């Protein structure tokens, strides 16, 4: 099986999920599903299909999409099974940091002025 996501890879998601992530949830089959969900959410929230237009985007935009998508997918990986983390608070802190990054990135991406900048670049 290979990475099927557009915005981020399994390895990038695994980095963010940390050492405590379960072998099941960080496996490629799961992360492919998680990344597809994250990409769809980004496209819908922003009301712009970044997936269809990915090849035309500049590198800054691609990196921001990677940031948001890998953060969301890593949250799914962590929440699948918290037992590998030292304690629940540690896992929740990781989720909160990832969530903050995802929300910040989504706010930037859905701003119409930023989208105009992205599309015209």
Examine residue 15 and state whether it is found in any structural domain, yes or no: no
Examine residue 8 and state whether it is found in any structural domain, yes or no: no
The pLDDT assigned to 58 comes to 87
Domain range for 61:
21-120
Confidence class for position 121, pLDDT limits 50, 70, 90: low
Examine residue 80 and state whether it is found in any structural domain, yes or no: yes
Confidence class for position 20, pLDDT limits 50, 70, 90: very high
Examine residue 12 and state whether it is found in any structural domain, yes or no: no
Examine residue 70 and state whether it is found in any structural domain, yes or no: yes
Confidence class for position 116, pLDDT limits 50, 70, 90: confident
Examine residue 13 and state whether it is found in any structural domain, yes or no: no
Instruction: Collect contacts of 50-57 with beta carbons under 8 A, ≥24 apart.
Output: 50/7, 50/109, 51/6, 51/7, 54/6, 54/7, 57/118
Mean pLDDT score, 103-117: 88
Mean pLDDT score, 33-40: 97
Count up the domains in the chain and report the number: 1
Examine residue 16 and state whether it is found in any structural domain, yes or no: no
């Amino acid at each position: 099986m290979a990475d099927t996501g557009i915005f981020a890879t399994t390895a990038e998601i695994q980095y963010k999920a940390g050492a405590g992530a379960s072998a099941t949830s960080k496996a490629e089959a799961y992360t492919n599903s998680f990344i597809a969900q994250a990409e769809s959410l980004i496209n819908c929230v922003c009301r712009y299909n970044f997936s269809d237009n990915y090849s035309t985007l500049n590198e800054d935009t691609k990196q921001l999409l990677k940031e948001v998508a890998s953060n969301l997918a890593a949250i799914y990986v962590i929440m699948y099974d918290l037992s590998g983390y030292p304690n629940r608070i540690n896992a929740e802190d990781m989720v909160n940091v990832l969530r903050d990054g995802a929300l910040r990135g989504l706010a930037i991406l859905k701003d119409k002025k930023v989208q105009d900048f992205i599309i015209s670049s």
